[in-house]
């Protein structure tokens, strides 16, 4: 298969005003998407949703114009969580869905990603077909064939009802005091209603987006203020979403962060106990070794995919399993949604809490994570260094010493010129020692 020119591990992403995140490129991309994706269903209609970045206005307009030039209709959803756009694409029988978002990145970045008619990420073949079309001369269909655009006014309301439907009808969140961090992102007008309408006493923070404050010292990548709020208000827990609403981390009543690995384990253990897990669990190369060991002790199969939710999704589909995700809080339950959904994932955990009669800390304590040391090294030749014989040799040697009590992982970032060095061990001092040795070796190699 050919190497992709524009698409990365999660759509196309970059700094606004750079080579990719411009009105000109979005116009070409819109036309290409219309040509390749528009005819995949009889509706010849593609949905466009976005998060709250100021650049979303520019990119939305350009994509709409590009789709129209290809003869494809567009439905504009406005600010919507990524999983909401995926669900709406399938629900409205559209040809495809477009998400304008850079997820957890700062406001000055943006991205464009796609869902097929089933609300799932595009195949590599379709992404390559779009890339091929982008590089062709821009052409516009005749006037009578131009696509039309229309705004969908009730998109948020529809998605709120979908989220609520994922929670057991006979249960309620009444009696739970929750602090909710919307990251000044796409869930700001949706998540508060979902949790409050299900009965929770909800305090909301970071729900006043201004186009520039998305993910700024808030959300799942910056949970410190949420931790403080949980303690100050005496809340039962906190919920931290990210800018586009596909990730979630949770905070227990002691202010401790409960990450994606712990949340997946909590749900997996409960489903397994009740005969509803349907197979095993898929994590990634970054998933904590404690989760794998804990699942193994329960007799639950565990597989690691490459980093990125699309690879977790592919492995789940291949094995006909439902549950998987990443440490970052990107959790998939394909029995409920086609992609990672922060709100639905939080509701899954809250459902387990209520059914088990345990608080979040009690559930999380059932999987004590191994200490993990992750060091990022900025280098241009990250892939080459990751495969260097001396780096591989030292990593293998450390793995042998750690045995089942830890592991190493050396990998090049898929989105940045960066080498990630990670060491896990039951003994934190050992993890720090071995990570330092690996980083020293990498630094000596690339500087010489």
Ordered by start, the domain boundaries in the chain are 12-155, 169-257, 259-340+357-364, 372-447
Count of beta carbons in the 10 Å neighbourhood of residue 19: 10
CA separation for the pair 391, 442 (Å, rounded):
7
Put the strands of the sheet holding 237-241 in their side by side order.
201-205, 177-181, 237-241, 248-251, 257-258
pLDDT band at 1 (very low <50, low <70, confident <90, very high): low
pLDDT for the residue 41 = 85
Q: Where does the pLDDT of residue 403 fall: very low under 50, low under 70, confident under 90, or very high at 90 and above?
A: confident
pLDDT at 381: 84
> Active-site residues: which are they?
103
Query: At residue 243, what are phi and psi to the nearest 5 degrees?
Result: -55, -35
Residue with tokens 């998939």: 332
Q: What is the DSSP string of 68-129?
A: HHTT-EEEEEEE--HHHHHHHHHHTT-SEEEEE--TTS-TTEEEEEEE-TTSSBPPHHHHHH
- Percent of the chain surpassing pLDDT 90: 89
Helix (H, G, I), strand (E, B) or coil at 423: strand
Q: What is the Rg, in whole angstroms, of the alpha carbon atoms belonging to the chain?
A: 22
What is the chain's mean pLDDT, rounded? 95
Q: Residue holding tokens 């086609």?
A: 338
Model confidence pLDDT, tens digit, residues 95-147: 999 999 999 999 999 999 999 999 999 999 999 999 999 999 999 999 999 99
Residues 91-95, mean pLDDT to the nearest whole number: 96
What is the C-alpha to C-alpha distance for residues 32 and 12, in angstroms, rounded to an integer?
14
- Give the separation between CA 26 and CA 429, rounded to whole angstroms: 48
CATH of domain 12-155: 3.40.120.10
The candidate with the shortest Cα–Cα distance to 339, out of 318, 317, 319, 309, is 309
Is the Cα dihedral 157, 163, 168, 173 positive or negative? negative
Q: What is the pLDDT of residue 436?
A: 94
d(CA 118, CA 95): 9
Banded model confidence at residue 74, pLDDT cuts 50, 70, 90: very high
d(CA 206, CA 215): 9
Question: Do β-strands 281-284 and 323-325 pair in parallel, antiparallel, or remain unpaired?
Answer: parallel
Q: Do residues 178 and 235 touch, judged by C-beta distance below 8 A?
A: yes
Tens digit of each residue's pLDDT (9 = 90 or more) over 169-211: 999 999 999 999 999 999 999 999 999 999 999 999 999 999 9
Q: Which residues of 295-310 are buried (b: 16+ CB within 10 A; e: fewer)?
A: beeeebebbbbebbbb
What per-residue confidence (pLDDT) applies to 161?
A: 98
SS3 state at 278:
coil
Which CATH number does the domain 372-447 belong to among 3.30.310.50, 2.30.30.30, 3.40.630.30, 3.30.1300.10? 3.30.310.50
Task: Evaluate if residue 415 carries a pLDDT over 90.
Answer: no
Mean pLDDT on 65-75: 98
Handedness of CA 333, 337, 342, 343 (dihedral sign): negative
**CATH topology match: 12-155 vs 259-340+357-364:** yes
Quick one: 259-340+357-364 is in which CATH superfamily? Alpha-D-Glucose-1,6-Bisphosphate, subunit A, domain 3 (3.40.120.10)
CATH T-level fold of 169-257 = Alpha-D-Glucose-1,6-Bisphosphate; Chain A, domain 3 (3.40.120)
């Amino acid at each position: 298969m050919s190497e992709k020119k524009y698409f990365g591990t999660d759509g196309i992403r970059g700094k606004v005003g750079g080579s990719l995140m411009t009105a000109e490129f979005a116009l070409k991309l819109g036309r290409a998407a219309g040509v390749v994706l528009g005819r995949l269903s009889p509706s010849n209609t593609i949905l466009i949703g976005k998060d709250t970045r100021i650049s979303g206005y520019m990119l939305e307009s350009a994509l709409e114009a590009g789709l129209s030039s290809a003869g494809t209709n567009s439905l504009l959803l406005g600010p919507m969580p990524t999983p909401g756009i995926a669900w709406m694409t399938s629900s409205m029988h559209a040809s495809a869905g477009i998400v304008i978002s850079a997820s957890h990145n700062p406001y000055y970045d943006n991205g464009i990603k796609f869902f097929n008619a089933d609300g799932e990420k595009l195949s590599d073949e379709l992404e390559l077909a779009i890339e091929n079309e982008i590089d062709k001369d821009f052409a516009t269909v005749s006037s009578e064939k131009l696509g039309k655009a229309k705004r969908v006014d009730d998109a948020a309301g529809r998605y709120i009802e979908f989220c609520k439907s994922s929670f057991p009808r006979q249960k309620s969140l009444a009696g739970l005091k929750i602090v909710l961090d919307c990251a000044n992102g796409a869930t700001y007008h949706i998540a508060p209603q979902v949790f409050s309408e299900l009965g929770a006493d909800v305090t909301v923070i970071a729900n006043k987006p201004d186009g520039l404050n998305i993910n700024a010292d808030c959300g799942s990548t910056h949970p410190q203020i949420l931790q403080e709020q949980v303690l100050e208000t005496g809340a039962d827990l906190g919920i931290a979403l990210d800018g586009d609403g596909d990730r979630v981390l949770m905070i227990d009543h002691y202010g401790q962060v409960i990450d994606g690995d712990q949340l997946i384990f909590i749900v997996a253990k409960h489903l397994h106990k009740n005969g509803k897990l349907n197979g095993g669990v898929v994590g990634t190369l970054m998933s904590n070794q404690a989760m794998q060991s804990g699942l193994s002790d329960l007799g639950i199969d565990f597989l690691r995919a490459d980093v990125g939710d699309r690879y977790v999704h592919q492995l789940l589909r291949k094995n006909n399993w439902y549950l998987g995700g990443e440490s970052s809080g990107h959790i998939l339950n394909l029995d409920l949604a086609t992609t990672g959904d922060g709100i639905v994932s939080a509701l899954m955990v809250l459902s387990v809490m209520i059914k088990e009669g345990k608080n979040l800390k009690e559930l999380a304590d059932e999987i004590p994570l191994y200490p993990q040391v992750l060091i990022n090294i900025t280098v241009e030749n990250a892939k080459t260094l990751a495969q260097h014989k001396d780096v591989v040799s030292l990593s293998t040697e450390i793995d042998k010493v750690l045995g089942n009590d830890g592991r190493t992982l050396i990998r090049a970032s898929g989105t940045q010129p960066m080498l990630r060095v990670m060491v896990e061990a039951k003994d934190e001092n050992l993890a720090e020692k071995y990570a330092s040795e690996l980083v020293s070796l990498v630094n000596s190699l690339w500087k010489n």
